[in-house]
């Protein structure tokens, strides 16, 4: 096992995931519009509401102080799965969206007003949607988004809503009995997601063990069931939901349970006769578990496992150095995992082969990566970072301007070679702007560049081997202030449409809450 070297300078003080501020050490954070309400208090008095959105979101990057090579012990070890429990219970269906009592139409007046003020060469505002869901307190959390065909599904509080990406109209809407507190990061290949709901309505402190599967295409719930309690200390308040193949997992501290996605039947539970236990999962083309083997809380010992989604048994393991904890899975295939050692103030990213052996450690100077959402609503989700990866390269937005850059210089996007871990390209950013990788398209990288108050954002593409982005979609200057409210929210680019999805609905009162824009769509 290779022990990471200590940082050359004293470790700074930082928060739950090592983040100093949105722009890293010494940098200035994103500019927030003066009229925007202050962010909600995060803690036990914070309202836990939810919004589920159906879009395959391409999230980006990872956090840390300095990057060091992560050595580890490689090997194979199987684990025992628990006995299956009885299957699910009742199902539900969405309400129709048509009729006078249905949800309102997109805000055509706002779209027309913005388009009237746009300059030549700027994108059109295709449609705008404002919040139409009244919640019991001042903020509403947004989960997702997910995209299925031409349908974008969102949900907030106790409501799941499907929008047309073409014109923003509501296709269907589902009302739930209790508030949503967790959701699977991605949808399954056939368009299903799984939610975790509170056991009781309007409970400030309550377990969240009600699972419900929803088909994003039809707006129907195929099953719901309560997550089994597997021990006296199995407290169901912070689940990690992940979907891989035909399985959805509910991971939590020292316990984990897998259910069949088709009918909710339990497939596996806690690893029996093992001192190591999965507590969070990442899904998609494979099922990856973050596993804790910690006996001494002051000396964390964690492993990364690929898990059989049917049996829950480990296929292989990779042991991290003592003191390191998994904080993000940047990509599942290829598998790129970031981990931090909070005691030492160090951070590392490791690339693993299909058999769990080490491929490379990402090497970089002492900076964080942009785009990881460590908000309360995302807690337990290992896949919340905004990164883009292909077979040979992973693109990570560097947090803050490059060392020695003039004041006001924007951040860069680093392209790492997955075989060597070295930076092979630095993609330039705009002055004063934050940039993130958004997706790959035809071999080129699509880059999202954020707005800055009255300065609009844009999309750009970076050709293979290039370092200079070429602007392809410039957003209207008149929407810059509005767009800046979406600076940390998910963004989608599909069929020539650039859609921003609000992650948190704020309002000092009901009237302000109902005027808050939740979806913005741009195009040529």
DSSP characters over 20-49:
SSTT-TT---PPPPTTSPPPPPPSTTS---
222: left (phi over 0), alpha (psi -120 to 50) or beta: alpha
Structural contact between residues 374 and 361, judged by C-beta atoms closer than 8 angstroms: no
Residue with tokens 């899904």: 283
pLDDT at residue 90, rounded to an integer: 34
Structural contact between residues 248 and 261, judged by C-beta atoms closer than 8 angstroms: yes
Between the CA of residue 371 and those of 186, 206, 438, what are the distances in Å? 18, 30, 11
Strands 240-244 and 247-252: antiparallel
DSSP string for residues in 147-209: EETTEEEEEETTEEEEEETTT--EEEEEE-SS-EEEE-SS--TTSEEEEEE-SSTT-SS----
Strands 444-449 and 325-331: unpaired
Q: How far apart are CA 247 and CA 231, in angstroms?
A: 22
pLDDT at residue 81, rounded to an integer: 34
> Higher confidence at residue 213 or residue 60?
213
Say if residue 449's pLDDT is above 60: yes
Between the CA of residue 268 and those of 86, 226, 262, 517, what are the distances in Å? 12, 15, 15, 42
pTM: 0.80
332: left (phi over 0), alpha (psi -120 to 50) or beta: alpha
Order of strands across the sheet with 358-361?
Answer: 325-331, 335-341, 346-352, 358-361
* Domains with residue ranges and CATH for the chain: 73-523 (2.130.10.10)
Our CA angle for 436, 127, 179, nearest 5°, is 75
Candidates 384, 381, 414; CA nearest to 490 is: 384
Q: Among residues of the chain, what percentage have pLDDT more than 90?
A: 50
345: left (phi over 0), alpha (psi -120 to 50) or beta: left
Say if residue 119's pLDDT is above 80: yes
Residue with tokens 């009255």: 454
The number of beta carbons lying within 10 Å of the beta carbon of residue 391 is 7
Q: How far apart are CA 139 and CA 505, in angstroms?
A: 5
pLDDT digits (tens, 9 = 90+) for 264-279: 999 999 998 889 999 9
- 270: helix, strand or coil: coil
pLDDT at residue 52, rounded to an integer: 30
pLDDT digits (tens, 9 = 90+) for 418-442: 999 999 999 988 877 889 999 999 9
Q: Among residues of the chain, what percentage have pLDDT more than 70?
A: 74
Which helix (H) or strand (E) segment holds residue 315: the answer is strand 314-319
pLDDT at residue 295, rounded to an integer: 84
Average the pLDDT over 164-178 and give the result: 94
Across 191-195, 343-347, 423-427, 493-497, least confident range: 343-347
Say if residue 250's pLDDT is above 90: yes
Average the pLDDT over 492-515 and give the result: 86
| Residue-level length of the chain | 524
């Amino acid at each position: 096992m290779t022990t990471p070297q200590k940082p050359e300078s004293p470790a700074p003080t930082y928060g739950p995931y090592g983040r100093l501020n949105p722009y890293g050490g010494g940098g200035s954070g994103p500019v927030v519009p003066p009229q925007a309400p202050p962010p909600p208090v995060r803690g036990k008095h914070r309202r836990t509401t939810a919004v589920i959105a159906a879009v395959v979101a391409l999230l980006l990057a990872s956090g840390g102080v300095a990057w060091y090579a992560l050595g580890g012990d490689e090997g194979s070890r199987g684990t025992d799965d628990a006995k299956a429990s009885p299957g699910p219970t009742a199902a539900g269906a969405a309400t129709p969206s048509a009729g006078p009592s249905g949800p309102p139409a997109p805000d055509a007046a706002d779209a027309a007003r913005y388009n009237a003020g746009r300059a030549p060469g700027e994108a059109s505002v295709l449609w705008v949607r404002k919040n139409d869901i009244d919640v019991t307190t001042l903020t509403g959390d947004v989960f997702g988004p997910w995209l299925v065909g031409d349908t974008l599904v969102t949900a907030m509080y106790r409501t799941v809503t499907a929008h047309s990406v073409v014109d923003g109209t509501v296709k269907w809407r589902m009302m739930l009995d209790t508030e949503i507190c967790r959701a699977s990061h991605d949808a399954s290949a056939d368009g299903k997601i799984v939610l975790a709901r509170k056991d009781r309505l309007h409970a400030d402190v309550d377990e969240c063990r009600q699972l419900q599967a929803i088909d994003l295409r039809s707006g129907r719930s195929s099953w719901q069931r309560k997550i089994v309690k597997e021990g006296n200390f199995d407290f169901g308040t912070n689940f990690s939901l992940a979907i891989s193949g035909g399985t959805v997992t509910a991971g939590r501290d020292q316990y984990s349970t897998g259910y069949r996605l088709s009918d909710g039947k339990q497939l596996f539970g806690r690893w029996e006769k093992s001192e190591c236990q999965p507590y969070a999962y990442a899904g998609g083309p494979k099922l990856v578990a973050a596993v804790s083997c910690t006996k001494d809380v002051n000396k964390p010992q964690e492993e990364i496992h690929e898990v059989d989604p049917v049996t829950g048994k480990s296929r292989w393991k990779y042991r991290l150095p003592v003191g390191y904890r998994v904080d993000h899975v940047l990509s599942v295939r290829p598998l790129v995992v970031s981990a931090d050692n909070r005691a030492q103030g160090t951070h590392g990213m490791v690339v693993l082969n299909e058999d769990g052996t080490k491929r490379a450690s990402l090497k970089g100077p002492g900076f964080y990566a942009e785009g990881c959402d460590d908000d309360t609503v995302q807690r337990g989700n290992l896949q919340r970072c905004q990164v883009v990866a292909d077979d040979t390269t992973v693109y990570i937005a560097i947090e803050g301007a490059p060392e020695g850059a003039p004041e006001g210089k924007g951040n860069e996007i680093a392209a790492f070679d997955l075989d060597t871990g070295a930076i092979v390209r630095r993609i330039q950013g705009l002055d004063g702007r934050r940039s993130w990788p958004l997706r790959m398209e035809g071999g080129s990288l699509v880059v999202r560049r954020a707005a800055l108050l009255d300065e609009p954002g844009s999309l750009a593409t970076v050709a293979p081997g290039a370092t200079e982005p070429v602007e392809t979609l410039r957003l209207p200057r008149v929407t810059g202030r509005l767009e800046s409210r979406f600076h940390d929210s998910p963004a989608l680019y599909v069929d020539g449409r650039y859609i921003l999805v609000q992650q948190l609905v704020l309002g000092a009162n009901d009237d302000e809450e109902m005027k808050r824009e939740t979806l913005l769509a741009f195009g040529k």
